Amino acid sequence: MQVFTIPYQGRYIVYRPLKRLAFFANAALINRIAALLENDAVLPAEKDRSWYRFLDAIGFMEADPPIPQSPQDQAFAPVVAVLCMTTACNLRCVYCYADGGERTIRTLPPAFGFKAIDTVYENALAAGAGHFTVSFHGGGEPTLPFENFKKLVQYSRNKELPCRIEVTTNGYWPARKRDWMLDHVDSFSLSCDGIEALHDRQRPLANGKGTFRTVFKTIQALDARQKEYGIRLTVTDRGIAELPESIRFLCRESGCPTFQAEPAFATGRAQENEVALKHNRAFGEAFLQAYDIAQEYGRHLYYSGARPWVITDHFCGAYQKALIVTPEGALSGCYEVSGPEHPLFSRFHFGTIADGPEVKVDQTARRRYEATLRERKALCANCFCYWHCAGDCPVKTGSTADNGHLQFSGRCDLNRYVTRELLVRYLAEGDGLWQG
């Protein structure tokens, strides 16, 4: 039985993450629970006491469910292809992790895309899956090589199994391209940082002009066509105070059901422009205000480091489930490590799709990477966020230093703060008890 006690305003939150159970307790009940856990037995007389009857009634005395475990040494047979189409970009976002549009322009050859699609399609057939997925992603804007994009979509659709087409995009499209995208893509992850002034300040065109109005036409078109989509907001220190207002605006003016707010982190232009988020607590407070606003509108806002509704032993399953192909034909373990310029590329380079007829997966590199994840998680075992962030994002928390994967930062404090405050909100809704 895994139990955490989290101090909160003169009392405690008793939290069993695997059981999805939390409740408020005073010091006396905390002491009784500690004695109960230490002795692993209860005297018959104690079972008649109100504190024991309460614990028994809410299921506290029940064992934890099975611990989630990712399969070890499982054959890598992904049914999702992630195609990082190009390093070119029509925007110059001030925090771009990939320096989109400013480094050497490289574009994924269609032949590499076809090979990736064939691979995941064959894996899906062998697994008896009902469909396979092709997802288009960065380091630049994936729809810029549009003719290649259309060829790859059509190639995917021509397979016997149904294909789910996804795209992560800035949404800055002319009307004709927008119409084609709405006709042919199933799901969209769209970047929009909120209110117009903030969005245009952070996500301008290469010539410095604003992009908000065109992007918002895309949002309105997604709503009109009832397409599946989510909006991602990136938050810099300068934009923290505008996050609640931005979420209110997006809830009021769009039908988007889900928003993701993430701090700008220190790679690419965020590092060069010194706009990576430093004020973690201020971000956490603004995020929680925005979360409450989203709840008022019946929408969901989340931050990837604080997910108490998720029980997992890995932060992200991309390296397990997806064949991620960079424009050079390298295989990466992360969507955001989309080329050799990334400082952590050597840790996430798992093979190649460029040479010869076969996809070459470096299983030794994958196992070495998995070992670093296990080493990091071992240091997190006593944290109440363990089963939610599972060591957190290895890209956002890692460094190029020796044992850089074992370093911890203020992001851990942020994750604990936001997770605790979300639990408090769950408890308020349940009159002091949460049984998720």
The pLDDT tens digits of the residues spanning 158-194 come to 999 999 999 999 999 999 999 999 999 999 999 999 9
DSSP secondary structure, 169-201, as one string: E-----HHHHHHHHHH-SEEEEE--SSHHHHHH
Beta strand pairing status for 163-169 and 132-137?
A: parallel
In the sheet that 21-25 helps form, which strands lie side by side, from edge to edge? 4-8, 11-16, 21-25, 433-435
Q: What is the structure's pLDDT at 42?
A: 66
How many CB atoms are located within 10 Å of the residue 143 CB? 24
Closest CA to 152 of 81, 76, 79: 81
Q: Grade residue 73 by pLDDT with cuts at 50, 70 and 90.
A: low
Model confidence at 304: pLDDT above 70? yes
Q: Which regions of 125-176 does DSSP assign to beta strands (E)?
A: 132-137, 163-169
> Average pLDDT of 287-296?
99
Q: Grade residue 305 by pLDDT with cuts at 50, 70 and 90.
A: very high
Model confidence at 52: pLDDT above 80? yes
pTM for this predicted structure? 0.93
The pLDDT tens digits of the residues spanning 113-163 come to 999 999 999 999 999 999 999 999 988 999 999 999 999 999 999 999 999
| C-alpha atoms less than 13 angstroms from C-alpha of 146 in its C-beta half-sphere | 12
What are phi and psi for residue 12, nearest 5 degrees? -135, 150
Domains and CATH numbers, the chain: 4-67 (no CATH), 77-411 (3.20.20.70)
